[in-house]
Amino acid sequence: MNQFVNLSSFAEQLLINQNALVKIREDMPLEKAALLGCGVTTGMGAAINSAQVTPGSKVVVIGVGGVGLAALQGARISGAAQIVAVDMHGHKLELAKRLGATDVVDASKDEPVQAVLDLTGGGVDFGFEAIGLPETTRQMFSMTRSGGLATVVGILPVGAEIPMTGADFMGSKRYQSSMMGGGSFRVEVPRYIDFYLNGQLRLDEMVSQTLPLERINDAFDSMTRGEVARSVIVFDS
Ligand SMILES: NC(=O)c1ccc[n+]([C@@H]2O[C@H](COP(=O)([O-])OP(=O)(O)OC[C@H]3O[C@@H](n4cnc5c(N)ncnc54)[C@H](O)[C@@H]3O)[C@@H](O)[C@H]2O)c1
């Protein structure tokens, strides 16, 4: 039997390689630890490891679902002074504010590039795209100031092309992608658990609903409708 990415998501019993295991503190609730396996490690690590956001910097995160909210929190923990969240859903932007965004842009109402350039006085030091769309990746490049660093976290469709112009390569901007937070999960997961338990990393707010396995399709439906940051499936045994 093939296992999805060697882990078998949603299986009630797993046989996994020792390389995919990490020992965690016993006082960490497993319902919150579940967030760390992918989305939180990816977003936090993109900000802390891959981009190395600096204190006092300006940051934009486009797409504040689970990964984007984690990138936003990584930027806050790293000491960013201004963090702009961009999304199409007002309730996602409200949650982003509660988790550390200093400014928000509703891309369903405002042209996001100009809005972010105006809010930041000419562009951000660190841009993050956390959706996986060519158009928003291009927007993130344009929001990043000369000398800034643009990090693509979203997974773009295979074969997608990003429409870039010569002007995007002026001004010594740096572009990079970040996979799984760019660190070692044996180091990062225990570190992020310490961040959660000492109050720096806020995971409770990121769980929109907790459901039994029988309602897993409801969780997928609400994810598809864009209603939730994260749904957590709990197992009875
Ligand atoms: N790099 C990695 O290692 C890695 C790991 C895991 C996930 N990912 C990728 O990260 C991306 C985000 O994952 P997620 O789980 O947070 O998704 P999500 O669906 O929870 O969040 C996406 C957010 O983007 C918003 N959005 C959609 N279109 C938009 C637009 N045009 N402008 C502004 N906002 C828009 C949605 O409202 C939503 O809040 C996906 O592409 C996923 O595949 C990457």
pLDDT tens, the chain, 237 aa long: 777 777 777 888 888 888 889 999 999 999 999 999 889 999 999 999 999 999 999 999 999 999 999 999 999 999 999 999 999 999 999 999 999 999 999 999 999 999 999 999 999 999 999 999 999 999 999 999 999 999 999 999 999 999 888 888 888 999 999 999 999 999 999 999 999 999 999 999 999 999 999 999 999 999 999 888 899 999 875
Query: Is the C-beta atom of 132 inside 6 A of ligand 1?
Result: yes
Tell me: do 197 and 143 sit in the same domain: no
Query: First and final CA of the chain: distance in angstroms?
Result: 23
- The sign one gets for the Cα dihedral 33, 34, 35, 36 is positive
Give the mutation target among 131, 135, 179 for probing the ligand 1 site: most ligand atoms within 8 A of CB: 131
Q: How far is residue 101's CA from residue 118's CA, in Å, rounded to a whole number?
A: 16
> In this structure, what are the phi and psi dihedrals at residue 173, rounded to the nearest 5 degrees?
-70, 150
Tell me: do 153 and 48 sit in the same domain: yes
- The domain of 53 spans 44-182
Tell me: do 152 and 122 sit in the same domain: yes
Query: Is the C-beta atom of 65 inside 6 A of ligand 1?
Result: yes
What is the identity of the amino acid at 113? Answer: V
Tell me: do 166 and 219 sit in the same domain: no
Tell me: do 178 and 228 sit in the same domain: no
* pLDDT tens by residue, 53-90: 999 999 999 999 999 999 999 999 999 999 999 999 99
> In this structure, what are the phi and psi dihedrals at residue 41, rounded to the nearest 5 degrees?
-60, -40
Tell me: do 199 and 86 sit in the same domain: no
Tell me: do 48 and 67 sit in the same domain: yes
Total domains in the chain come to 2
CA of 55 to the centre of ligand 1 (A): 25
Query: Is the C-beta atom of 180 inside 6 A of ligand 1?
Result: yes
Tell me: do 159 and 191 sit in the same domain: no
- The sign one gets for the Cα dihedral 63, 231, 101, 73 is negative
Q: Where are the alpha helices (DSSP H) in the chain?
A: 30-33, 39-45, 66-77, 90-98, 112-120, 134-143, 185-197, 216-224
Tell me: do 116 and 206 sit in the same domain: no
**Domain final position from 182, 208, 226:** 182
The number of the ligand 1 atom at minimal distance from the alpha carbon of 229 is 20
Tell me: do 113 and 206 sit in the same domain: no
CA of 65 to the centre of ligand 1 (A): 6
